[in-house]
Amino acid sequence: MRVNETFLSLQGEGYFTGTPAFFLRLSGCNLKCLFCDTHHQSFTEMSEEEIVEEASRHKPRHIVITGGEPALQLTRSLVDKLHEAGFFIQVETNGTLPLPEGIDWVTCSPKAAPLQTSPQGGRLSSVDELKVIFMGDGTDPEAFVSPLLGGGLVRLFLQPLDTGDEERNRIILRDTIAYVMQHPKWSLSLQTHKLLGIK
């Protein structure tokens, strides 16, 4: 399995903000987003057993599998091995590819509205949390809310885009808060790890 990096930190975004977690970042993505702030191309080959062993060295039993796009590599056998080791598994995905069964929490951060099928085919059918990046470009976040997200309770989070420009970020944050206040089924998500200066 191509692993970009592993690290221990607090979940910085969405429903589990502040939760201690082991992060497994898998290499590669099926999309090319201009605003992507993750360098996920490099990798080290690790077996599933090595991944579980590395994760098990740490106290948190919450693992966040992210990327890139983890659905390109994630297997049911790794999910099963992590469960056997006592982990709660959260996956962060762009929603264009199906995921293996057995994942405890799926966070979908779509990058095109509505959720689209990727060139590889297939797509996500159910999520626990929808985290939409608010870009201030006139796109209505409601366009991302799809009947394909399943019949259960889906938590909706709106997260301001970090453009790298302080003044632009202030405007986007202002507009994100204004949208949430007018559409209270959405909650504000901030990249608190950046605010705290941690990974």
Tens digit of pLDDT for each residue in 68-87? 899 999 999 999 999 999 99
22 is catalytic: no
Say what the pLDDT of residue 85 is: 98
Is 23 assigned a catalytic role?
yes
pLDDT of residue 35: 62
Q: Catalytic one among 16, 22, 23, 134? A: 23
Separation CA 123–CA 117 (nearest Å): 5
Query: Kind of pairing, strands 105-108 and 129-134?
Result: parallel
Quick: pLDDT tens for 27-83: 998 777 666 666 667 899 999 999 999 999 999 999 999 998 999 999 999 999 999
| Active-site annotation holds for 19 | no
User: Which is catalytic among the residues 13, 16, 22, 29?
Assistant: 29
Half-sphere exposure of 17 (CA within 13 A, CB side): 18
> What is the reported pTM?
0.89
Looking at the domain 2-196, which fold is it? Answer: TIM Barrel (3.20.20)
The whole-angstrom separation of Cα 94 and Cα 66 is 10
Query: What's the pLDDT tens digit per position in 110-135?
Result: 876 544 444 444 566 678 999 999 98
Q: Is 88 a catalytic residue?
A: no
Indicate the domain borders of the chain: 2-196
Q: Which of 58, 62, 83, 193 is catalytic?
A: 193
CA angle at 103 for the pair 25 and 155, rounded to the nearest 5°? 90
From 40, 66, 87, 92, the catalytic residue: 92
Question: Does 38 qualify as catalytic in the annotation?
Answer: yes
Which is the catalytic residue, given 36, 75, 140, 165? 36
56 three-class SS: helix
Rounded to an integer, what distance in angstroms lies between the CA atom of residue 118 and that of residue 20?
A: 32
Q: Is 176 a catalytic residue?
A: no
The verdict on whether 92 is a catalytic residue reads yes
Kindly tell me the sign of the dihedral angle through the C-alpha atoms of 140, 141, 144, 147: negative
Based on the residue annotation, tell me whether 108 is a catalytic residue of this protein. no
Which of the following is catalytic: 38, 44, 75, 117? Answer: 38
